[in-house]
Structure 1
Amino acid sequence: MIRRHLLPLLLVQLMLLPLAACAQQPAAGPVEGRDYVVIPDGQRWSTADDRIEVAEVFAYTCHHCADFEPTLAAWKRKQPADVRVDYVPAAFRPTDNYARAAFAFGQMGVLDKLHGPLFHAIHDAQTVPISNASVDELATFVRDEGVDADKFKAAMASPQVDAMMQRARDFAIASGLRGTPTLVVDGKYRVQATSHEQALQIAGQLVAMERAARSKP
């Protein structure tokens, strides 16, 4: 009787062995053309340091970007010291006040402080218009967040922000931007994904790929 009971159990265990072996295999790397596109003559967004760069091209008015923001922010906090995550507004018009606001935040050193709250103000609280926000409306938001509104307005109108707007436009065009949000890894790879989670998984794989390439003699 014992043997008759053991035989079916043994057969089930043998059938499960191939599945267990597959589960132990490392996940396949990203596939060019499906998971990412190689950017011809791609250039990094920032030359501030030599860390591996993950640049998110975003728009404050984009609800997909608003949905992505907390997930990306959490992912950013978990990155090792050799990875830098940058927020790059899609700045196709020099008069885009939302993009100019992002660069003004950067100039003032408050981008991390105000980035998430501005998404919230536009998409949830609706205290900032989702289109055609004026400088004064954005300055009111800034003031309510405890930041000097006059300095913010001056930064928005500065030549430095003018230059960043042009750089952001050039970066988006060179990257072959098709929509927001889009992740670009080290200026070389544009991530293609069907979900925010998949985009971050692919970005992580590309970061590992770039790290391995850099470590080669």
Structure 2
Amino acid sequence: MIQRLIPLLLALALATSAAVAMAAPARAADGLVEGRDYVAIPDGRPLDAKPGKVEVVEVFAYWCHVCNDFQPLIAAWQRALPGDVAFRYLPAAFTRDDAYARAYFAAESLGALARTHEATFRAIHAEYALPQRGASVDEVATFLAGFGLGRTAVADAMRSAETDARMDAARAFVVAAHVQGTPTIIVNGRYRVLGRSFGDMLRITDLLVARERTAAGSASTSSASHESKP
């Protein structure tokens, strides 16, 4: 009886091991695990593709206190990026009437973003010069006027058709990427970064950038090889 049970127990153990192995998340060569470190975005595309560049987008919101905490870290990380990485901020624009998202696009169109971006975070979260939620276009325009901008010019830019279009495009991007909160990092439109801390998010982003760089290099080599054939 015992001799007949041994093969059955062995077969059961092997089947259990195989099931566990199949259920375990796959670890890529770079050590990243889908579902733990990142989410692959089906049919994902970059926000603004540039030839030879890997795009990294931080979806943020000025009213988000976690984004405020993350800002010094991602700003320092951004300054050290190699030339083949195109980084950009993108206000989440979950709602079309988000005055802070409109302020970002207005400041960018007026060439003032370098002066206003971090200052807007400070005004909301440190100086309390602006409300965290529910700010009006006029309130934000008055604040931005303190950076050498005309208040009317800022308000007009915030309400412009161009800003309407950019708000719609931003919302479409975050919906397509299944962004559920801020801050969220998207790499090349293809990966939504997860991570357990700010540092972990940036580590994962670096590895995904390297993955995309390698993939682009492989594609270029393959294309050149096909073109060289008679």
TM-score range for the pair, normalised by the shorter chain length: 0.7 to 0.9
Farther-moved stretch of structure 1 (80-89 vs 42-51):
42-51
Deviation at 1:109, TM superposition (A): 1.9
Deviation at 1:79, TM superposition (A): 0.3
What amino acid does structure 1 have at the position aligned with 2:59?
A: V
The question of 1:167 aligning with 2:165 is answered no
Q: Aligned partners of 1:64 and 1:42: how far apart in 2?
A: 25
With normalisation by structure 1, the TM-score equals 0.84
Q: Aligned partners of 1:185 and 1:41: how far apart in 2?
A: 13
With normalisation by structure 2, the TM-score equals 0.80
Farther-moved stretch of structure 1 (76-85 vs 103-112):
103-112
What amino acid does structure 2 have at the position aligned with 1:162?
A: D
What amino acid does structure 2 have at the position aligned with 1:124?
A: A
Partner of 1:181: 183
Q: Aligned partners of 2:52 and 2:94: how far apart in 1?
A: 27
Q: Aligned partners of 2:116 and 2:154: how far apart in 1?
A: 12
Partner of 1:203: 205
User: In the TM superposition, what are the counterparts of 1:13-24 in structure 2 within 5 Å?
Assistant: none
Distance change in 2, residues 1:58/1:104 (3 Å): same
Q: Aligned partners of 1:118 and 1:165: how far apart in 2?
A: 18
Q: Aligned partners of 1:153 and 1:163: how far apart in 2?
A: 16
User: In the TM superposition, what are the counterparts of 1:32-43 in structure 2 within 5 Å?
Assistant: 32-43=34-45
Farther-moved stretch of structure 1 (99-108 vs 176-185):
99-108
Q: Is the partner of 1:212 in helix, strand or coil?
A: helix
Q: Aligned partners of 2:106 and 2:52: how far apart in 1?
A: 24
Q: Aligned partners of 1:59 and 1:105: how far apart in 2?
A: 15
Q: Aligned partners of 1:135 and 1:162: how far apart in 2?
A: 13
Instruction: Write out per-residue CA displacement over residues 104-154 of structure 1, whole angstroms, 9 at most, x where no aligned residue.
Output: 112112223211110000000000111111112111211222223222111
Distance change in 2, residues 1:131/1:173 (3 Å): same
The question of 1:91 aligning with 2:93 is answered yes
Q: Aligned partners of 1:162 and 1:171: how far apart in 2?
A: 14
Partner of 1:191: 193
CA contact (8 A) 2:68 2:125 kept: yes
Partner of 1:108: 110
Q: Is the partner of 1:53 in helix, strand or coil?
A: strand
Distance change in 2, residues 1:48/1:133 (3 Å): farther
Partner of 1:132: 134
Instruction: Write out per-residue CA displacement over residues 159-214 of structure 1, whole angstroms, 9 at most, x where no aligned residue.
Output: 11000111111101110111100000000000001111110110011001100111
**Structure 2 residue runs without a partner (length 5+):** 1-28, 222-230
Q: Aligned partners of 1:112 and 1:206: how far apart in 2?
A: 27
The question of 1:66 aligning with 2:82 is answered no
Q: Aligned partners of 1:120 and 1:29: how far apart in 2?
A: 37
What amino acid does structure 2 have at the position aligned with 1:82?
A: D
Distance change in 2, residues 1:96/1:70 (3 Å): same
State the Cα RMSD in Å.
1.4
Deviation at 1:49, TM superposition (A): 5.1
Q: Aligned partners of 2:112 and 2:55: how far apart in 1?
A: 20
Q: Is the partner of 1:60 in helix, strand or coil?
A: coil
